[in-house]
Amino acid sequence: MLGILPVPLSAQTKTLRVGIYDNPPLASMGESNRPEGVYVDVLDAIASRQGWKLEYVPGTWLECLDRLGEGQIDALVAIAYSEQREKLYDFTRESILANWGQLYTHEDRQIDSLLDLAGKSVAVITGDYYYEEFRRLLGKLDIDCRFVVVADYPEVLRIVDAGKADAGLVARLYGVTHERNYKHIERSLIVIAPSELRLAFTKGRHAETIAAIDRELDRMKAESTSVYHKSLSRWLGEAPVERVPDWLLWVLGWVAVLAVLLALITLLFRVQLRRRTADLRHQRDLFARITETSPAGVRVLDRDGRIVFANAQAEKTLRLSRDEIASRFYNDPAWKLTALDGGPFPDEELPFSRVRRTLQPVWDIRHAIEAPDGQRIILSINAAPLFDKTGAFDGCVAAVTDITEQLRAETALRAANRALTVQSKCNEALVRSTDEPELLDKVCRAVVEAGGYRLAWVGLAELNEAKTVRPIAWAGQGTDYLRDLKISWADNEHGRGPTGTAIRTARPVACNDFQADPRHAPWH
């Protein structure tokens, strides 16, 4: 008897239809018409582990939103989370990236603030989260501008570049990766609605799938070598015949035995020597390959602290030849060592000194040196001890990395994040304040609390004979300083500081060393 049994649902391969729109490097159909981008890499990896089949469905942003709402697709990539959207779709708990809206302007347009948008045209895409928040904000401020609705972000930047729109709103990640392709656009100071980019699913249908994706994302983020982190980083030789006496035969026999034993011992020694030589050669070649292909500069120091080896990357990092490096000790005055703040760096805290003292590895010791061309290089050094056959300290090996640009980028990123936070707080204050004093007070507090400044104040340029500047709002430490502050915007000694100069010239003024600038002597 032949029986036919249905395949259990649990044994069937789950197929997910995933909406994808043109938003590189997050997700797009590439030049070969194949899905690519951060979301594609991460989803493909998760699907492979879970045994799912993914079917990417390309379309415009609006088409993808409509399909998700109607259940024609199961999921949509790179969608900004909001409480309003959570009423329409189910979202993953874990986000993949953070993003915000960035306004780009044509180079010939003077748009420095939201107020400059009055009467201007702004290119946007329908259904875009940043467009929705942008339109809501302009409505609250009663700023009237004309929106030019297009299909996608590439079209937004194209029409701004062509001068067919005064400005255009796109996601920051798209903007920074594509702005170089357009000759006539500029990134403005106007940013909108910081948000988390997640995955969205049809409402009420994919709870188990979402939970699985959240678990996988949580695991990927915790592993520095995961697809998630790799994807974010993708896109560093006869004697005469006679009777022989018996005793001699006996001796010769033993000699022969000893000779055979000696030959065997010699052969065994030679075999072992070849193996040991081959092992040493292999280790030497392996060490050479590792050090010559290492992204970090490698230095080996002897027990006295003299550098006896440096790899090719060390030459690039330290900007010296190997011979020049090997002629120096770890604390040679020629390095011109300083702390990160420019002060002296104690000899006992240098990596070699700490390793020799503790006989333990050290990690991420940071100090600066001066290159032969006079440029300052900031180094991060990991070091570990070397021991001789008796276990005594015999030197150390150090990995040296130039982190100058990394620190500059981190500093710039922190500054940008602070500026973004301050701007967001100021925008919020602008919307929620009921009068000018309240607005100015909130702006000062935002600069201090979110921007990290010790004191912020707003002064009113008075139209009296002395042209005095009167503080009308302030926040932070040292506000008593403002009580007796004598500042003018006239062209005299009390008007040539940053405040008076800014008012008189109608330009921003920055002072990086208040004590050293002679123009600020009246307030020292």
Residues 258 and 269 occupy one common structural domain = yes
Predicted local distance difference test score (pLDDT) of residue 224 = 84
Cα–Cα distance for residue pair 79/65, rounded to 1 Å: 9
**Residues 204 and 88 both lie in one domain:** yes
**Which pLDDT value is given to residue 186?**
94
Q: Is residue 457 part of a domain?
A: no
Q: Specify the pLDDT at position 256.
A: 47
pLDDT of residue 125: 93
Residue 109 predicted with pLDDT over 80: yes
Q: Residues near 244 by Cβ (< 8 Å), separated by ≥ 6?
A: 252
Q: Are residues 298 and 275 located together in one domain of the fold?
A: no
Q: Which of 257-261, 372-376, 424-428 has the lowest mean pLDDT?
A: 257-261
Higher pLDDT: 352 or 253? It is 352
Percent of the chain with pLDDT over 90: 48
Question: Amino acid identity of 518?
Answer: P
pLDDT band at 30 (very low <50, low <70, confident <90, very high): confident
Domain CATH for 309? 3.30.450.20
Q: Which residue has the higher pLDDT, 506 or 2?
A: 506
Asked if 9 and 22 count as a contact pair (C-beta separation under 8 A), the reply is: no
Q: Are residues 114 and 256 in the same domain?
A: no
Residue 407 lies in a domain: no
Q: What does the block give as tokens for 222?
A: 């915790």
Say which amino acid occupies 168. Answer: G
Helix (H, G, I), strand (E, B) or coil at 165: coil
In a domain, 519, yes or no: no
What is the tens place of the pLDDT at every residue in 321-342? 988 988 899 999 999 999 999 9
Asked whether residue 313 is domain-assigned, the answer is yes
Q: What is the mean pLDDT of residues 361-372?
A: 93
493 within domain boundaries: no
Cα–Cα nearest to 305, from 176, 435, 394: 394
Whether the Cβ atoms of residue 27 and residue 79 lie closer than 8 Å to each other:
no
Q: Which two tokens stand for residue 324?
A: 């020049």
23 falls within a domain: yes
pTM: 0.41
Confidence of residue 283 (pLDDT cuts 50, 70, 90): low
Verify that 302 and 382 share a domain, yes or no: yes
**Residue 273 confidence (pLDDT) above 80:** no
Give the rounded distance of the alpha carbon of 238 from its chain centre. Answer: 85
Domain final residue, candidates 402, 421, 448:
402
Q: How big, in percent rounded to 5, are the helix, strand and coil portions of the chain?
A: 45, 25, 35
277 has a pLDDT exceeding 90: no
Q: 307 with 349, same domain?
A: yes
Overall domain count for the chain: 4
- From 443, 450, 457, select the one nearest 417 (Cα to Cα): 450
Identity of residue 459: G
1 has a pLDDT exceeding 50: no
- Say whether pLDDT at 246 is over 50: no
Specify the range with the lowest mean pLDDT, choosing from 42-46, 140-144, 253-257, 344-348.
Answer: 253-257
How much is the pLDDT for 278? Answer: 65
Residue 67: partners with Cβ closer than 8 Å, 6 or more residues away = 19, 57, 59, 73, 76
Establish if 452 belongs to a structural domain. no
Reduced to 3 states (helix: H, G, I; strand: E, B; else coil), residue 509 is coil
Pairing of strands 297-301, 89-91: unpaired
Contact (CB, 8 A) for 232 and 224: no
Biggest CA–CA distance in the chain, Å, is 140
Report the pLDDT value the prediction gives residue 10, as an integer from 0 to 100: 44
Q: Got the DSSP string for 220-265?
A: HHH-TTSHHHHHHH-----PPP-PPPHHHHHHHHHHHHHHHHHHHH
- Quote the CA–CA distance of 45 and 326 in Å, as a whole number: 47
Rounded CA separation 524/510 (Å): 17
Q: What is the DSSP letter of 468?
A: B
Q: How confident is the model at residue 291 (pLDDT cuts 50, 70, 90)?
A: low
Whether 249 has a pLDDT exceeding 60, the answer reads no
17 and 113 share a domain?
Answer: no
User: Which long-range contacts link 131-134 to residues 24+ away (Cβ below 8 Å)?
Assistant: 131/101, 131/169, 133/101, 133/192, 133/193, 134/101, 134/169, 134/192, 134/193
**Whether residue 115 sits in one domain with residue 92:** no
For 292-321, what is the mean pLDDT?
86
Please tell me the distance from the alpha carbon of residue 469 to that of residue 480, in angstroms, as a whole number.
16
Which of these three, 402, 436, 469, is where a domain ends? 402
**Res. 408 pLDDT band, cuts 50 70 90:** confident
Cα radius of gyration (the chain): 35
pLDDT digits (tens, 9 = 90+) for 34-67: 999 999 999 999 999 999 999 999 999 999 999 9
Average pLDDT over the chain reads 85
State whether 394 and 301 are in the same domain: yes
Average pLDDT over residues 93-113: 89
Q: Report the pLDDT averaged over residues 148-153.
A: 93
Q: How confident is residue 269, by pLDDT bands cut at 50, 70 and 90?
A: low
Q: Domain range for residue 280?
A: 249-293
Tell me: do 219 and 139 sit in the same domain: no
Residue 75 belongs to domain with CATH number: 3.40.190.10
Q: What's the confidence (pLDDT) of residue 263? A: 54
Residue 190 has pLDDT above 80, yes or no: yes
Do 43 and 132 fall into the same domain?
A: no
- Among 134-143, 252-261, 450-459, which range has the highest average pLDDT? 450-459
Residues 32 and 83 in one domain: yes
- Is the residue at 420 inside a domain? no
